[in-house]
Amino acid sequence: MENLAAATREELIAIIATQQAQIAALMVRVAELEEEERRLRGGKGGGTALALKPSRPERESKPRKHRGRAFVRRKEQPDEEVRHVVERCPDCGRSLHGGWEHARRQVIEVVLQRRVVDHVIWARRCGVCRKRILPKPEPSEIGAQGKRRFGVSVQALVASLHIGCRVPMRMIGKLMWELFGLRVSDGEVVNLLDGVKGAGEPEIARLRERVRSSAAVCADETGWRQDGDNGYLWGFFTEGARYFEYRKSRSAQVPKEILGEDFGGVVTCDFYGGYNKVGVLQRCWFHLLKDAKELAELNADRPQVVGWVESLQALYQEAKACCLVLGELPANCRARRKERRRLERAAAALARPYAKDPDAPQRVLSQRILKHLHELFVFVTDPAVSATNNLAERSLRPAVIARKISGGTRSPKGSATRMGLMSLLGTWSAQGKGQLQGCRELLLPTPAP
């Protein structure tokens, strides 16, 4: 009752009686919970339990399994040997001589040393033509890009720390000072990164053409902020190449522009409609099965839904098994096309009964399967195509972590530099090449013989 002041005596008595009954029920429940808490604490009184969850019971320790060989760090070739000997006996003071090796302990050290080199240009005059002759040292002799004072080792280290290790610019300056006693400002870090990106422009262009000419590409996009404005980082990846671009838009025109009008490969992607105009698509099974797993968890009390999800998972495993059986058969051969058609019919039979049922929990996923039916089993006909988009997800993850640390980039030039460096360093890592080594080779290419 909202207005107790206007209530009659009988109504007030009824309200009081109801509240007394509720209080009595709550007191009983409180007593039950206190008893349960005491039981979980082992019946000990006093104090308050940190958690109602009981402690893990003690388990009997098993004997350690002995391996066939020890997986310890192997001894390395020493650069220096230091002998530790006792010159006099600690008991009688007699001088000791000779001896033998009793034990050996290897310690690995890293020498951090700054080296400043003055390159002196020495002029000479020809005694015949009386001309002044000056040397023209190659960049490999100087060890620096252009007229920079920092050598390529510093430039490669800065690029690897910022892009490969996601170290913020200000922290790079602190590290350079603490490790080498070298003062590097934020502006100098930006200039060094721009220098690496400028030297890698031809290589970045080759990466883009390599992705465009690839038979199978994994693609994905994620959010990216430039000077506080929301945009998107697009990534296109193959087994040996990584290519990133920042675009303000997430429209379907972006992948079409990056891959080119005449792209003839297969793009493995999620179910985002922005890839619809690219060409041949392979939709990611990981995204489909992830949504199906969430559906099963939400409907755990409905065996029909759980069984439907299990059937979808079994269909994917069957498709993977078919790929293993087909083995080395050429792409798009008759046997592969036949298996693909059979799997598509099985997927359609699984989805059709629920696609138009508004009360079926699996209706949305069924409609998705039917809509993209011919984009689910492309990997069966072409062994070069991946069934999932995991390569793109893993390749984008470092950029997502960097975005959480820095919040993005501050200018179009900064975005272009970061995208280019991520493409270069990501490609070197995919090819098994060290990032420091790749930067040095990029900045100081070996002259042609």
Quote the CA–CA distance of 268 and 172 in Å, as a whole number.
Answer: 37
400 backbone dihedrals φ, ψ, rounded to 5°: -65, -40
Tokens of 267: 């793009």
Instruction: Say if residues 218 and 391 touch (Cβ distance below 8 Å).
Output: yes
| 3-class SS of residue 97 | coil
For the beta carbon of residue 162, count every other beta carbon within 10 angstroms.
Answer: 25
Q: Are 85 and 103 in contact (CB under 8 A)?
A: no
Classify burial at 222, counting beta carbons within 10 Å of its beta carbon; exposed 0-12, middle 13-18, buried 19 or more: middle
- Residue type for 407, please? G
pLDDT for res 449: 52
Burial of 197 (C-beta count, 10 Å sphere; 0-12/13-18/19+): buried
Q: Are 421 and 193 in contact (CB under 8 A)?
A: yes
CB environment 54-85: b (16+ within 10 A), e (fewer): eeeeeeeeeeeeeeeeeeeeeeeeeeeeeeee
Q: Pairing mode, if any, of strands 266-269 and 229-238?
A: unpaired
Q: Which two tokens stand for residue 346?
A: 């099985």
Helix axes 201-212, 186-199, angle to 10 degrees: 50
Host H or E run for residue 224: strand 216-226
SS (H, E, C) 274-311: HHCCCCEEEECHHHHHHHHHHHHHHCCCCHHHHHHHHH
Angle at which helices 152-159 and 169-180 cross, to 10°: 140
Rounded CA-CA distance 38/159 in Å is 59
Q: The tokens of 401 are what?
A: 């972590």
**According to the model, what pLDDT value does residue 113 have?**
85
Kindly state the tokens that stand for 312.
């979808």
CB neighbours (10 Å) of residue 88?
10
**Cβ atoms of residues 289 and 369 within 8 Å:** no
CA distances from 336 to 165, 279, 326, 388, 432 (A): 43, 20, 7, 19, 33
Are 177 and 189 in contact by the 8 Å Cβ rule? The answer is: no
Residue 350, helix vs strand vs coil: helix
Q: How far apart are CA 111 and CA 79, in angstroms?
A: 12
Model pTM score? 0.78
pLDDT by residue for the chain (449 residues), tens only, comes to 567 777 888 888 888 888 999 999 999 999 998 888 877 766 544 444 445 566 777 788 888 777 777 777 788 899 999 999 999 999 998 999 989 999 998 988 888 888 899 999 999 998 898 899 899 888 888 888 888 899 999 999 999 999 999 999 999 999 999 999 999 999 999 999 999 999 999 999 999 999 999 999 999 999 999 999 999 999 999 999 999 999 999 999 999 999 998 898 999 999 999 999 888 999 999 999 999 999 999 999 999 999 999 999 999 999 999 999 998 889 989 999 999 999 999 999 999 999 999 999 999 999 999 999 999 999 999 999 999 999 999 999 999 999 998 889 999 999 999 999 999 999 999 999 999 999 999 998 765 55
User: What pLDDT score was predicted for residue 49?
Assistant: 47
354, 308 contact by CB (below 8 A): yes
- The residues, ordered by sequence, that sit 6+ positions from 331 with a Cβ below 8 Å of its Cβ are 381, 382, 383, 384
